Chains A and B, each alone.
Chain A
Amino acid sequence: MSNSVRSPVAGLRNVSREDMLVHGHGACPGCGYAVTARNIAKILGPDTVVYVPASCLAVFSALYPTSAWKVPFLYTAFENTGAVITGLKAAYRRRGIDANVVGMAGDGGTFDIGLQALSGAAERNEDVIYVCLDNEAYMNTGIQRSSATPFGAWTTTTPAGLEVQGNRRFKKDIAAIVAQHDVPYVATLSVAHFTDFVKKVEKAKAMSGFRFLHCLTPCVPGWRIEPSKGVSIDRLAVETGMWTLYEVENGVPRVTYRPRKMLPVTEYLGLQGRFKHISEEDVRTLQSWLCRKWKVHYGEEVEEPPCVISRRDEGLGHDGDPLHGL
């Protein structure tokens, strides 16, 4: 038991203390990707092989001649996570090697350019774990919009202009799309709900077939947030309905955490520079979309909470450029 620590939090007792993604990598302070990838790798343990497509994770975790990975790691391209992990797993099956083959892709690499390979692997029910680390834009190339970017958000390709401000489309529901492939396990995760997080990763690890873990991972420069605020913001995402925690196990959906009451979306938006420009009209549009989504996930109507836009800029000293203010 030297690798385990007793935790007062139920479900965390058996989490290993041995990291597979170790310190010394080049992620920004407060990076949600790093925290999420580290904890997933830790739970999956040493019998794991990781594929990472083009993403921040590829850049910050393995830059030759250094590597922060204690498990085998492979990177090749952007759009092929579903396919490369298929090939790796086939090799281990042939060789009789028991390994958790896991792909860790970003939202662009999953929702957009990687959607085809993801769909192929899900449809074939490949025996792999696909993790989507969703920071809601192409952060590695410098904050460009993806189909995971929320409505109203600023990115460098959805600038807050004089006529159009921010992203005009709502976030694509990738977990629902994957679930429609009739795969054994789909779950949404947040580092702010760590017990839930651990349970889902452990459940995925114990199952076989295609498993999809969709994780909301705050991005300090991309969301224009304080490095210390990522987890709090992830928590507010759930309380406002911007993120929902559920799992679909063998086709049966189950909400794993339900907020007691819906907080106004402005509570979430107000902490992030990427929504600094947002208009009242856009807040209302986003809020009513969230209320519709709430009903879909939690099964009952919710009264629209009153939204108050706070233009306070305190706590947003970070200007979004990773080279500034850090």
Chain B
Amino acid sequence: MVITADAAVAHAARLARAEVVPGFPITPQTIIIEQITEFINDGEMDAEFIPAESEHSVMSVAVGASAGGVRTFTATSSQGLALMYEMLFAAAPNRLPIVMANANRSVGAASGIWTEHNDSLPVREAGWLQVYVEDGQEALDMTLQAFRIAEDAQVRLPVMVCLDGFILTHTVEAVDVPERAQVDRFIPPFDPVGALQPSDPMTMSPIVPPEFAMEMRYQQDRAMQASRTVIARTDEEFAALFGRRYGGLFESYRMEDAEFAMVGLGTWAGEAKEVVDQLRAEGRKAGLIRLRFVRPFPAEELRASLKDMKAVGTFERSASFNGFGPIYTELRSALYDTGVPITDHFGGIGGRDITVTTVREMYEVVERRARGESVRECTWHGLRGEQE
């Protein structure tokens, strides 16, 4: 099928038999809810679409529906995710396995409707798993996998599937849309374990005093850590059924004998793979790690892959305003005491186009650092005017 990544996500929600879908329009996510309502009204999807009056209410409806014991899906973007902020923190501690697609778009002032990761990365502390995809096929496949991971008894946490706005959401590609029966073998019927229902009265999410709240946060953290193995296992099971494998927490590209590498999220990896191929053709030992999950952050796994690098670069499509970006900050912590030097590389902010040339510039800085040359620790690539 030749469809946008937004449509691919909608197909995944249909195939996964999501039963309640609250939604509110926001570019570039809107195609997802439009497509879902079309499925419902055409009788192709047996679900209820709830046209909530804001994204805060979207997540509140999702929390209510999931607490009531049904498979719940929604989608948002940017300002919408920001408006949901409060309720993201209600979904995770209550262990509600909601799956939500987030079309990455810049948030706040100096913003437009184009790709930036400053909507979802700032909420990586909300207790949701976050996965970033590279193309339309992965958008569909990871939405399917997200339901399995979220609903796993060891996890029971919400999952956010992030896809770059416009670059993916509005771009048509050939996507293999699996058959319903095939997906039914992968995703079992929803288990309403721990749901609120009159036949088994339970008080959910009351006020929790300090004597107990800490243990609950700890359990939440344990569940997040447990999700690492569930993510890997789910990817294997998915590969066995559908023949596509994504690598779980991150994808390694030409890392076997790499001496320097970059780490980054999303569609940027497309250009990065091209650059790695170019450099390899020139006999330069470049590699790439396309980070997929930011939560759980694969610190140990990245450390194992990167500990012998001569230098590593991080790609940032979102600023932390501490002089570096969030990926640098997280990776620096993961590689602490390995002595591997890290350089940080900003690009594509506010949806600015990222070209192979831009990414090659990034790699060349990392390579110079690998050779022991002195380079800027953080570079904004494609910045108009001089960087201080």
When each residue 177-193 of chain B gets 1 if its CB lies under 8 Å from chain A and 0 otherwise, what string results?
A: 00000000000000010
Q: How many residues of B contact A (CB 8 A)?
A: 45
| A116 / chain B contacts, CB cutoff of 8 Å | 53-54, 56-57
| A99 / chain B contacts, CB cutoff of 8 Å | 197-198
Taken together as a complex, chains A and B put the C-alpha atoms of A94 and B192 apart, in Å, by: 12
Residue B64 contacts which of A62, A69, A90 (CB distance < 8 angstroms)? A90
Interface pair A69/B201, CB less than 8 Å apart:
yes
When each residue 79-102 of chain A gets 1 if its CB lies under 8 Å from chain B and 0 otherwise, what string results?
A: 110111111111111110101000
Residue B206 contacts which of A58, A95, A119 (CB distance < 8 angstroms)? A58
Kindly identify, within residues 8 to 55 of chain B, every residue whose CB is under 8 Å from any CB belonging to chain A: 19-20, 22, 48, 50-54
Q: B385 near A: Cβ within 8 Å? A: no
Residue A74 contacts which of B48, B58, B62, B205 (CB distance < 8 angstroms)? B205
Interface pair A90/B65, CB less than 8 Å apart:
yes
Q: B207 near A: Cβ within 8 Å? A: yes
When each residue 106-136 of chain A gets 1 if its CB lies under 8 Å from chain B and 0 otherwise, what string results?
A: 0000000000110110011000000000000
Q: A51 near B: Cβ within 8 Å? A: yes
Distance from B201 Cβ to chain A, minimum over Cβ atoms (Å): 5
Given contacts A77-B90, A80-B56, A84-B63, contact A95 B203 (CB under 8 A): no
Q: B204 near A: Cβ within 8 Å? A: yes
Q: A189 near B: Cβ within 8 Å? A: no
When each residue 48-92 of chain B gets 1 if its CB lies under 8 Å from chain A and 0 otherwise, what string results?
A: 101111101110111111111110100000000000001100100
Q: B109 near A: Cβ within 8 Å? A: no
Interface pair B48/A76, CB less than 8 Å apart:
no
Q: B202 near A: Cβ within 8 Å? A: yes
Query: With contacts A72-B197, A116-B54 known, what are 11 further pairs, Cβ within 8 A?
Result: A58-B207, A64-B212, A69-B201, A76-B63, A83-B56, A83-B61, A86-B50, A87-B64, A90-B70, A91-B66, A117-B57
Give the 3 A-B residue pairs with the shortest CB-CB distance, closest first: A87-B64, A91-B68, A120-B53
Q: Which of B19, B67, B212 has the most CB of A within 10 A?
A: B67
The residue on A at minimum CB distance from B69 is: A91
| B199 / chain A contacts, CB cutoff of 8 Å | 97
Distance from B199 Cβ to chain A, minimum over Cβ atoms (Å): 8
The residue on A at minimum CB distance from B208 is: A64
Taken together as a complex, chains A and B put the C-alpha atoms of A59 and B201 apart, in Å, by: 19
Q: A71 near B: Cβ within 8 Å? A: yes
